[in-house]
Amino acid sequence: MSSQIRSIQWRDDAIYVIDQTLLPTAEKTIEIKHVDQLISAIQKLAVRGAPALGVAGAYGVVLALDEAATAHWDSDRLSSEIDRLRDARPTAVNLAWGVNQVRPLISQGREAVLNAAMNLAQADQLSNLAMGNIGADWLLHRIGDRPLNLLTHCNTGSLATTGTGTALGVIKELAKRGKIKEVFADETRPLLQGSRLTAWELSKAQIPYRIQPDGAAAMAILSGKVDAALIGADRIAKNGDSANKIGSLGVALACHIAKIPFLVVAPESSVDRSIADGSSIHIEIRADAEITHIAGKQMAPEGAKTFNPAFDVTPARFITAVITELRAYDIEAGESL
């Protein structure tokens, strides 16, 4: 079951992460003991998902302290390395949040920082369970107490968190209650987090699913095959505008036309109340090779230019509700976060 999946752990003075770039054909754990290693793992998406990145950022501060002690960094070098880690993926607010949660404790010593990081991981697990229950209750109340066909985009499960997941955590909770008929998992181009990661988790959890091309999502929704769609978020503005994996906006638009619920499920730590709306969210643009090559094989003309944003921003007017570990925010009624 997915509860046995631990995407990120701290043990023996190191971070251990499942290398998500190798799934589903190989299950390999990476040992990370240096800040450079962690930044590389984050940027190549060996570890990903907003809540998991928050925990990785917190543990990374401990790595920085250990490296500072052995490599004799001065305080300026230590601060610079922590800044590099914090900024490794600019769209994902949780990474910076995790770093900022433990950084003020550096003056209290390494153990204080490590304990705070471990507490963040434990809190994330509890948060996942709360989101699962709140989201499941919301959907069954809104749609009806019956088995549901749900659509999800990218990966929002145990691989993206330290627990059961955000949007996928809601699906897992519904499955426990016997309320899942089938899950439509978008493949999630260009790196296929849906077909590689979400399908892997659903298979382990024995939840019925089918994979579909991203381009099939609108057809599935508008033809009545889907009761609701659930996604995660890497950053949510105060008004509800939500940044998530590229392709999320198209799903939201289709749900809006079909008049079915479109839910964003994310922890409170993904809510950035310092920004009024999504126009302030920086969107990461990734390498051309992710589009022009597949598994190292060239699939486009030499020198082809690409437009490869990692995320898009769904305006609040296309979001039905935002589910956090605290409550359901009624975005369609104009409620802000």
- Active site amino acids: 234
Q: Which residues are 186's β-sheet partners?
A: 212
Ramachandran region of residue 154, left (φ > 0), alpha (ψ -120 to 50) or beta? Answer: left
Look at the alpha carbons of 214, 228, 125, 164 in this order and tell me if their dihedral is positive or negative. negative
42: phi then psi, degrees, rounded to nearest 5: -70, -45
Q: 312 by DSSP, 3-state: which?
A: strand
Among the listed residues 178, 177, 127, 180, the one whose alpha carbon sits nearest the alpha carbon of residue 156: 127
The gap from C-alpha 300 to its chain's centroid, in whole angstroms, comes to: 29
- The conformational region for residue 116 under phi > 0 = left, psi -120 to 50 = alpha, else beta, is alpha
> Which of 102, 100, 136 lies closest to 272 in space, CA to CA?
100
Cis peptide bond prior to 24, omega within 30° of 0: yes
Beta-bridge partners for 309: 285
Amino acid at 72: H
Q: Which residue is it, tokens 């439509």? A: 184
**Which residues lie closer than 8 Å to 177 by C-beta, 6 or more apart?**
136, 140
